[in-house]
Structure 1
Amino acid sequence: MYYQKTVNETLKLCHSSIYGLSSQDVKLHQEKYGKNVLLKQKNESPIKIFIDQFKDLLVIILIISAIISGLSGQFESTIVIIVVIVMNAILGTHQTIKAQKSLDSLKKLSLPQVKVLRDQTLQMIPGDELTIGDIVQIEAGDVISGDGRIIEASSLQTNESALTGETESIDKQCHPLSKETMISNQNNMVFSGSLVTNGTGRYVVTSIGMNSELGKIAQLLNDTQERKTPLQQNLDQFSGQLSIIIIIISILVLFLNIFLAKQKPLDAFMIAVALAVAAIPEALSSIVTIVLSLSTQKMAKEHAIIKNLSAVESLGCISVICSDKTGTLTQNKMTVQNIYFYDQLYHYQDLNKEKHDHLTLLKTCSLCNNASINNQQRIGDPTELALLDLVNYHHFPTLSHLNELPFDSTRKMMSVLSKNHLYSKGAPDVILQKCQTILIHGKKEKLTHFHKQTILKQNQTLASQGLRVLAFAYRPCTSFGLTVEDENQLTFIGLVSLMDPPRHESPLAVKACRQASIKPVMITGDHIVTAKSIALQIGICGEIS
């Protein structure tokens, strides 16, 4: 197993190297291993979809009644029933095929992007193009797109709840394990579907698609059978009860006509059949299909695709809608709002590079950053991308650092070394504890208790508005090998507030839900103050999970 192999052994087994695959290797590997996709049950053919329209109990009863009508010479009734059944099947088939095509198009648009090292160059590719042997670079916020053996790890943690059900993040490292162990204990491996919650790292892809651990679960899911919707269950129950009543009444009429009315058995039978056919609601199936189809078309105009016609009825029973905050109710694009220097709050557009403290903050934002923006391709953590946008807005160059102490959940800060200075960013309360001096109007002064209280008060004011706040600091540093001990005696520079703004359509969607007596609920792992601010802006008040 790969988790018991060294990094070099794993790379050799995957026919790769720490420099990644070449374009020629990628082509060979993709031909050998296929695409990195989870195979799902194939879309049913139009013929099978058409035949499935005749499986409902009500339709079966109509078919039986058409046959009986034909045998009894009532050809007009037979033709009408057959036409109704066929038109109903055509309508249902058309809607199902249309929904399948729309869903397939959406799935192609929603493929995750992956950072890989190919031809010794970092590239962004769709997740389904990942292949065995690829070297993938990951950081906090990334979703793993293929199983792999970790070859580099810096404070790396992942959430593997999609596989194991454990919600706690797992520390990852790159050393081989000596004993055979279960997935949850393979801390030198990453698995498809997991979320990187902290740190940075690289791994070599060892399994993709249906051969990944997630693929094995997907195979089990593909073997499950779809359950009928409440509407289908109710129609089946109604059809069954109606059939029993019609049969009982027809038999009763048959015997009454034979024994009381003294009619011929054949005549009595024809009357009973006519009664049964007349009692069957031939148009019910078509009416249900037409109404559901019209509802589906209406939903499509509202940008909601319904795969199964019968699911429309289930949607009509909804009383609560739970929605994720980030990326659903918000734009999932962090943007810098304000910058605070001691006793002065600036809009991000108002920075002046001629001022020493402003210039130092822009420099720190550029250096304490692992994101990159190239040719409209944005790679990295949303917060770091927002800081990079700030730097680019003021036409400040993107700088590189010599060494780094990455962010981790214990320290709540990160630091980098550039030339002869250390630059840090992190949680305001943590950064302030490590500061001894402060930049005020470009000059260093001793950081007093009053200064700290003023800064923390400003931090609380910004945070109460639903903004994420980061603090920045720096100090001279001549050592090359950074340690946590170097993150002391810092000089406080300032605060930067950021926000993931709500989507413009979110308030309207929430209002529409309330008008329909549907309770909208926002679910998020963010701080309650941030969540409340977004909830107030979009109209969800007090209903926060």
Structure 2
Amino acid sequence: MSTTAGAPVPDAHALPVDQVLDRLGSSVKGLSAGAVADRLAEHGPNALPQAEQETWWQRLLRQFNDPMIYVLITAGVLTAIMGQVIDTAVIAAVVVINGLVGFIQEGKAADALESIRDMLSPESEVLRDGTWVQVPSEELVPGDVVKLRAGDKIPADLRLLEAASLRTEESALTGESLTAEKSLAAVDEAAGVGDRPSMVFSGTTVAAGSGVGVVAVTGAGTEIGRITGMIQDVEQVETPLTKAMGKFSSIIAVIALVLAVLMVLVSWLLYRTGWADLLMSAIGFAVAAIPEGLPAVMAITLALGVQKMAGQNAITRRMNSVETLGSVTTICSDKTGTLTRNEMTVQHVLTRAHTYQVSGVGYAPEGSVAVDGEPAALAEHRDLALIAEVAAYANDSAVRQTEDGAWKLAGEPTDGGIKVFALKTGCEDNGSRLATVPFDSEHKYMATLDDLDGDVFLHLKGAPDRLLDRSSAQISADGSTEPLDRAFWEDAVDELGGHGLRVLAAARRDATHADRVSNADVDEGEFTFIGLYGIIDPPREEAIEAVRIVQDAGIRVRMITGDHASTATAIAKEVGIADGRTITGPELESASDEDLQRIVADTTVYARTSPEHKLRLVQALQRNGEVVAMTGDGVNDAPSLKQADVGVAMGVKGTEATKDAADIVLADDNFATISRAVSMGRNIYDNLKKAIVFMLPTNGAQGLVIFVAMLLGMTLPITPLQVLWVNLITAVTLSLALSFEPAEPDIMKRKPRDPDASFLDSEAILRILYVSLLLGGATTLVFEWAISAGAQLDVARTWAVNTLVMGQVFYLFTARFSRVSALRKELFTTNPISWLCVGAMLVLQLAFVYLPFAQVAFQTTAVSLQSWLLSVTVGAVIFAAVEVDKALRRGAETRRATV
């Protein structure tokens, strides 16, 4: 580390103020203009690094980076060289449409770093040459002295020189929901960001109080700067769908090219076919074998999934993430606001005589107070009335009901929880406040002098140890006073804290109108200790059920939070995810990458974590083969969200930087929404697989028809343009129908699918093969029968195309149900869109056959009703064949189960 005066001091939190100033070559009087200029030239501006953005044309070109598209482009170039204008135009249209669909759906990639830069303060009040001046924050240098007031954005990482009741909002950086209290004392060098009260950090906000600090670190060296560096270093993880479809596309493209070359060689060697005919046949075969409609079907299916998820409060920013959710094996969740309500609630109230249970959660004053299971009334419980009185009067918060019926807090969350407790007892602030001592981080209490119908009392609320120091008596069961039993209260504080509760205390003493309240008055007065409030941010009820659902689906839930270990453990137990000890940040710090892989295999709760810890945890899980969904709301979560397979940001309390780094944004910050999104992700994968198993037999049949015709020296039963027609209308009608299939009943009872597993299992491959043979064989036979009956070539080819289309229609009906019989009422009731798609397909096919311009473009002609009946018969045979196959498989499974 450099010791040059003016160099940054990243360990300023661990050093006394005078030593920090000495290291920085500064003083409480700030810097001179000359020193600032020198340091600005040496260290550069106080700004975050810029990241490269993907241009629109780079994003557009990326849409065509697919082996199947390469084959189509090659086919288009060859037809253009051969002068086949219509063929070239149709192939080009297919390629361009597929590219535009992906381009439009993906949208402009957001820049998380730009959002973080927006968090920084544009100007700062700095002491230069002995005078306070406003300067652009980018011009701050190490050693500058900066003034802070409530509402200010903090421009750099500052070591505090002065702090007057200073509290900062650091949740975006630390993940803690409560404001951070600041003081001047140095702390251990190993202390995490959330445990450095002597520091304030760039990008956070002054919530209350005022202060003065010296700039210790600027720009990329700040905590928020380190996070931006981590975001830049994180590589985007390839989704399971992208990997699977990449392999699938490559295999299909290679098979199509190999068979096309084989077909050309055999036809040329055996039949001496001309090169022009050979090339057109090869192009027709490539177009037939390539499922060019598949990218469009994938894009549409994912886009529909995006729409459905948006209706369930899950807004998807990257389409592939919809499907990736279906592969997730572990969910790393934040605690505050995701698993919990982010509303501090008093659950227990302890006096010397009783322990009261408080029902109701959140800021709605709905609930009751009970003791030993019976309602507790203020008139019958003097101790309860007194502790409720302190909660009502020593409080600056308020709760109000909005027009939509929701209750909103104005003030500090902890104050709000105590205020709501008072309202639940029926105690309201009906007196008048004469004076107040605001809460500050040094004294850790709040005092108010209040007139209650002519009687004046000094109410005191704050940290239990500070109030015990100022108390000499306590309230007994009947409301009288008795000597203070400090040991009892210290044990009670430990017990409540051990259950993850935040503990505050209440005390009071008699006063008069002549009293003036200050810290000195409070310190000198002897109070009567009343009792303790046990406060917690309670878990969402729906989150508990959602955790159970995803666990039943084979997904492990892990909590990673910046909160304290006791609080994290308590919430984890309540929601059902604690299955061992809680690991803390310091333990993660000392663990090697190999140790961390072993730790994450068995541990579900992590507390006091930093951004680096979260990122390492996600990476360790991924090295263990897990597909990770990570939730977060603060800037500190952005690197791990970008690293995760699916990053999930909170839409309500999340920072813009976190949302930009995420794949999915939750509009309601609710874990239950993640559970629903996982279910939809699995459903989308099922529907994509059904669509592929449905589409490929069309390509297989068409390829088979051309391949056999060329090998046997036959006239082609269908032309390349007719092949494209069938592929396209099948993709935009029948295949699209499968995108609307509802989830199967057992979808959240299955284990997560292996992301490395083949996209198509042996059962799917076998079905594709035999349906391809049935469709291709029937098409060839119908064509040959028509030719032998004396039909013209265009008539026979029209019959052949109609046979392909009707075979696909009947195959759709059975393909909607992968394993069970399609002969059920759900065929007609669960997906009405499928019937609309079938109707659209038939209308398009009738236009293909009977409209004059279509007849010219595709070389078709009008045909008789007899030919249509023949095509329908072929479709019915294919339907029956698949149904028999499914019945045989179900029977085999039943027999295996009974053995």
Q: Secondary structure at the match of 1:437?
A: strand
Query: Partners in 2 of 1:493 and 1:188 — Cα distance?
Result: 33
Partner of residue 126, structure 1: none
| Residue 414 (structure 1) aligned with residue 444 (structure 2) | yes
Q: How far apart, CA to CA, are the structure 2 residues paired with 1:535 and 1:213?
A: 28
Q: Which residue of 1 aligns with 2:341?
A: 331
Which residue identity does 1:63 align to in structure 2? Answer: I
C-alpha contact (below 8 Å) 2:390/2:507 kept by paired residues? no
How big is each residue's C-alpha offset from its partner over 1:154-201, in whole Å with a ceiling of 9 and x where there is no partner? 7989999969xxxxx9996399xxxxxxx99x99753225799x9976
Check 1:100–1:300 CA distance in 2 against 1; reply closer, same or farther (3 A cut): farther
Residue deviations 1:33-72, cap 9 Å, x none?
A: xxx9997766865x66544422334323322222223434
**Alpha-carbon deviation of 1:318?**
0.4
**Change in 2 beyond 3 A, CA 1:227/1:500:** closer
Rate the CA distance shift 1:524–1:212 in 2: closer, same or farther, 3 A: closer
**In structure 1, C-alpha distance between the alignment counterparts of 2:392 and 2:88, rounded to whole Å:** 78
Distance 1:275 1:418, change over 3 A: closer
**For the residues of structure 2 that align with 1:456 and 1:225, how far apart are their CA atoms?**
50
Q: Does 1:202 align with 2:234?
A: no
Q: How far 1:521 moved relative to its partner?
A: 3.2
The residue number in structure 1 matching 2:243 is 233
1:191 aligns with 2:195: no
Query: In structure 2, what residue type is equivalent to 1:300?
Result: A
Report the CA distance shift for 1:470/1:135 in structure 2 as closer, same or farther (over 3 A).
closer
CA contact (8 A) 1:323 1:520 kept: yes
Name the structure where helix makes up a greater proportion of residues.
2
Distance 1:399 1:11 in 2: 46
Using the TM superposition, give the Cα deviation of residue 439 of structure 1 relative to its aligned residue in structure 2, in angstroms. Answer: 1.9
Match of 2:547 among 506, 510, 533: 510
Structure-2 residue corresponding to 1:136: 149
Q: Kindly provide the amino acid, as one letter, of the partner of residue 439 in structure 1.
A: I
**Structure 2 CA distance, aligned partners of 1:248 and 1:267?**
18
Amino acid at match of 1:519: R
Contact map agreement 1:321 1:521 (CA 8 A) in 2: yes
Q: Name stretches of at least 5 consecutive residues in structure 2 with no aligned partner.
A: 1-5, 9-20, 35-46, 126-136, 141-145, 175-179, 187-192, 359-367, 370-376, 401-407, 450-456, 581-603, 606-899
2:229 and 2:551 map into 1 onto residues whose CA distance is 39
> What is the CA–CA distance in structure 1 between the aligned matches of 2:87 and 2:148, rounded to whole Å?
69
SS of residue in 1 equivalent to 2:78: helix
Residue 397 to residue 86, structure 1, CA distance change in 2 (3 Å): farther
Instruction: Name the counterpart of 1:443.
Output: 480
Deviations 1:282-326 (A, max 9, x none): 222222222222222222222222222222232221022121222
Q: Deviations over 1:381-411 (max 9, x none)?
A: x22343355568611556754587736xxxx
Residue aligned with 2:327, SS: coil
Partner SS for 2:30: helix
Alignment correspondent of 1:67:
77
Change (3 A) 1:439 1:319: same
The yes-or-no answer on 1:93 pairing with 2:125 is no
1:427 and 1:229 mapped to 2: Cα distance? 51
Give SS of 1:325's match.
coil
- Show the 5 A alignment for 1:309-388: 309-345=319-355, 351=378, 358-359=385-386, 362-363=389-390, 366-367=393-394, 378-380=410-412, 382-388=413-419
Distance 1:405 1:228, change over 3 A: closer
Alpha-carbon contact 1:146-1:191 (below 8 Å) kept:
yes
CA separation in 2, counterparts of 1:405 and 1:476?
23
Taking structure 1 as reference, are residues 188 and 431 closer, same or farther at Cα in structure 2, changes over 3 Å only? closer
The aligned residue for residue 9 of structure 1 is 30
The residue identity in structure 1 corresponding to 2:184 is Q
Give the residue type in structure 2 aligned to 1:406: S
Q: Deviations over 1:75-105 (max 9, x none)?
A: 55444433333333333233223x979x99x
Percent of residue pairs identical: 28
Q: Output the CA distance in 2 between the equivalents of 1:534 and 1:220.
A: 29
Please state whether the residue corresponding to 1:232 is helix, strand or coil.
Answer: helix
Q: Does 1:471 align with 2:481?
A: no
Q: Provide Cα deviations, 1:329-374, integer angstroms capped at 9, x if missing partner.
A: 222111334533321455677557996984477448755x6x6559
Structure 1 residues 354 and 203: CA distance shift in structure 2, 3 A: farther
Please give the alpha-carbon distance, in whole angstroms, between the structure 1 residues aligned to 2:205 and 2:241: 38
Q: Partner of 2:184 in structure 1?
A: 173
CA contact (8 A) 1:292 1:312 kept: yes
Gaps of 5+ in 1: 14-35, 119-128, 164-168, 176-182, 408-412
Question: How many residues align structurally?
Answer: 479
Separation in structure 1 between the aligned mates of residue 147 and residue 72 of structure 2, nearest angstrom = 58
1:236 to 1:339, Cα distance in 2 relative to 1, 3 A: closer
Of the structure 1 ranges 212-221 and 308-317, higher mean CA displacement relative to structure 2 is found in: 212-221
Superposed, which structure 2 residues align to 1:94-133 within 5 Å?
94-97=104-107
Label 1:65 to 1:225 Cα distance change in 2 as closer, same or farther (>3 A): farther
Q: How do residues 481-492 of structure 1 correspond to structure 2 at under 5 angstroms?
A: 491-492=528-529
Deviations 1:102-128 (A, max 9, x none): x99xx89xx9899x999xxxxxxxxxx
Alignment of 1:44-59 (within 5 A): 45=56, 49-59=59-69
1:81 counterpart = 2:91: yes
- 1:378 counterpart letter in structure 2: A
Matches within 5 A, 1:9-48: 9=30, 45=56
1 CA distance for matches of 2:120 and 2:420?
Answer: 21
Mean Cα deviation higher: 321-330 or 250-259: 250-259
CA-atom RMSD, angstroms? Answer: 5.8
Partner of 1:22: none
Q: Quick one: distance in 1 between partners of 2:508 and 2:138?
A: 40
The answer (yes or no) to whether the contact 1:431–1:472 under 8 Å persists in 2 is yes
For 2:441, the aligned partner's letter is P
Determine if contact 1:146/1:205 at 8 Å carries over to the other structure: no
Asked if 2 retains the 8 angstrom alpha-carbon contact of 1:58 and 1:236, the reply is no
Contact 1:437 1:445 in 2 (8 A): yes
Distance in 2 of aligned mates of 1:214 and 1:389: 36
Q: What residue identity is the alignment partner of 1:135?
A: L
Deviations 1:14-40 (A, max 9, x none): xxxxxxxxxxxxxxxxxxxxxx99977
Distance 2:52 2:471 in 1: 59
Distance 1:57 1:355, change over 3 A: same
Q: Return the alpha-carbon distance in structure 2 between the equivalents of residues 238 and 245 of structure 1.
A: 11
- Whether the aligned pair in 1 keeps the contact of 2:156 and 2:219 (CA below 8 Å) is yes
Q: Which residue of 2 aligns with 1:498?
A: 535
For 2:33 and 2:96, locate their aligned partners in 1 and report how far apart those are by CA, in whole Å: 60
From 544, 559, 562, the equivalent of 1:522 is 559
Shift of 1:502: 2.8
CA distance in 2 between partners of 1:204 and 1:422 (Å): 33
Change (3 A) 1:94 1:525: closer
Under a length normalisation based on structure 2, what TM-score does the superposition of the two structures give? Answer: 0.42
Would you say 1:286 and 2:320 are equivalent positions? no
